[in-house]
Amino acid sequence: MAQFQGVDYFMIDGLLSEEERMVRATVRSFVDDEVLPIIEKHYRDGTFPMPLVGKMAELGLFGTTLPAKYGCAEMNNVAYGLVMQELERGDSGVRSFASVQSGLVMYPIYAFGSEEQKDRWLPALAKGEKIGCFGLTEPDYGSNPGGMVTRAERKDGGYLLNGAKMWITNGTLADIAVVWAKLEGEVRGFLVEKGTKGYTAPEMKGKHSLRASVTSELVFQDCWIPESNILPNIKGLKGPLMCLSQARYGIAWGAVGSAMATYDAALNYAKSRIQFGKPIASFQLIQEKLVHMLNEITKGQLLALQLGRLKDAGTVKFTQISLAKRNNVHHALEIARMAREILGANGILDEYPVMRHANNLESVKTYEGTHEMHTLILGEDITGIAAFH
């Protein structure tokens, strides 16, 4: 297969720095050489490609924006976004792994942790020697995390944790779980280490989506958390919501990568598939679809890039992240479905990446704030009226 050349109808490359383009080139080659050749088999088998962890770490794809003293690349948010874009061109599950490790584990330890916690965990997480997961969602509390029932109880020298989390990416693989629980009625963050008595993380089976990613339950039964493992510098729901802003930001970029993959597959297919004696790309109905795909990718690229520039300037609002996540994932899924239609029956085969992306995006549209919740967040922002209270 020819090397992927990117989609850049609006000369957006000119808005990127040389470093940002170099980062993208590195991750693009990595995805072509290391992810695409193995991903369909992992997807079919329902396994996460573990050999990629060390390779991603070596390239610096975990905690990309965090300081060099923790072994991180200390790059800007646009470079981080481009990493997410290229990884998700490979697979949403691979991007999810890096998103969770970076935005949901390394970020809260960096932002809310003690110096000891940072020194102990961040270098190991950056090197991929340790894997992390993030426990917020519960079986009965998804869009409404404030209702969580997982509880921590203060005891001498630590805490007793009880409850359960669900839909946790990397849960079974994780050496360290960042778990949010109520302590005396207030949401607090705890670092739960693998092997802690009373802590189990069984894998959830039967997924038709994100099959190359591990999704788990986390179960805590009188699980003992030493005082040194509470995140000292954050209280309240704001903590996990700040983490989600990091992850949603990465998803806004990642969705563009997924859309590029399915558009590229559809465009190449349409130009080579002959029906009625000519390539199907010559039919108006196909052209309309391809143009719509390109159009939405271009808008999504500009949205993601400006979002990144705002984040780098420190002025981004969480509602802007909601808009970009909502828009880009919605259109990535629409583009994947259109690509499936253009590929006809071939679209359902794993010889092409299209159905895998379409299936993955069903999850991406729902996780990290459903499409609907982002709509209501934006609705509240522009009307001043919350529709969900």
**Residue from 7, 23, 267, 354 binding other proteins (CB under 8 A):** 23
> x/- binding map, residues 82-121, to other proteins, per CB under 8 A?
-x--------------------------------------
Count other Cβ atoms within 10 Å, centred on residue 369: 26
- Is 46:209 a contact under the CB 8 Å cutoff? no
Of 68-76, 164-172, 189-197, 201-209, the segment contacting other proteins by CB under 8 A is 68-76
196 touching other proteins, by CB under 8 A: no
For residue 129, give both structure tokens. 């020697």
Q: Which is nearer to other proteins, 82 or 212 (CB)?
A: 82
Q: Which is nearer to other proteins, 22 or 50 (CB)?
A: 22
Could you tell me the smallest distance in angstroms from the CB atom of residue 351 to other proteins?
23
Tell me the C-alpha to C-alpha distance, in Å, between residue 188 and each of 183, 232, 259: 6, 9, 37
| C-alpha gyration radius of the chain | 21
> x/- binding map, residues 352-381, to other proteins, per CB under 8 A?
------------------------------
**Residue from 16, 39, 52, 79 binding other proteins (CB under 8 A):** 79
**Residue from 12, 15, 59, 378 binding other proteins (CB under 8 A):** 59
Could you tell me the smallest distance in angstroms from the CB atom of residue 251 to other proteins?
20
- Is 91:48 a contact under the CB 8 Å cutoff? no
For residue 101, give both structure tokens. 């490790």
Q: Which is the catalytic residue, given 40, 115, 368, 380?
A: 368
140 touching other proteins, by CB under 8 A: no
Q: Which is nearer to other proteins, 68 or 345 (CB)?
A: 68
368 is catalytic: yes
3-state secondary structure (DSSP) of residue 352: coil
What residues from 25 to 44 belong to the interface with other proteins (CB under 8 A)?
Answer: 26, 29-30
**Residue from 2, 313, 345, 382 binding other proteins (CB under 8 A):** 2
CA distance 83 to 172: 25
Report the relative pairing of strands 278-279 and 186-193 from DSSP bridges.
unpaired
| Residue 317 amino acid letter | K
Of 53-61, 108-116, 247-255, 283-291, the segment contacting other proteins by CB under 8 A is 53-61
Report the relative pairing of strands 151-155 and 176-183 from DSSP bridges.
parallel
Binding footprint of other proteins, residue count (CB under 8 A) = 21
List of residues 6+ apart from 57 with CB closer than 8 A: 126, 127, 128, 129
75 touching other proteins, by CB under 8 A: yes
How many alpha carbons fall within 13 Å on the CB side of residue 53? 20
Count other Cβ atoms within 10 Å, centred on residue 20: 20
| Residue 367 amino acid letter | Y
**Residue from 9, 22, 317, 341 binding other proteins (CB under 8 A):** 22
Could you tell me the smallest distance in angstroms from the CB atom of residue 239 to other proteins?
27
**Residue from 19, 119, 129, 372 binding other proteins (CB under 8 A):** 19
- Is 168:214 a contact under the CB 8 Å cutoff? no
Of 69-77, 177-185, 192-200, 351-359, the segment contacting other proteins by CB under 8 A is 69-77
| CA neighbor of 63 nearest in space, from 109, 24, 27 | 109
- Got the DSSP string for 299-328? HHHHHHHHHHHHHHHT---HHHHHHHHHHH
Could you tell me the smallest distance in angstroms from the CB atom of residue 28 to other proteins?
9
| CA neighbor of 187 nearest in space, from 223, 142, 155, 151 | 151
313 touching other proteins, by CB under 8 A: no
CA distance 5 to 14: 15
129 touching other proteins, by CB under 8 A: no
Question: Among all chains, which residue has been given the structure tokens 């300037």?
Answer: 313
Of 55-63, 97-105, 218-226, 328-336, the segment contacting other proteins by CB under 8 A is 55-63
Residues lying near other proteins in the complex (CB under 8 A) are found at 2-3, 5, 18-19, 22-23, 26, 29-30, 58-61, 64, 68, 73-75, 79, 83
- Just list the catalytic residues: 368
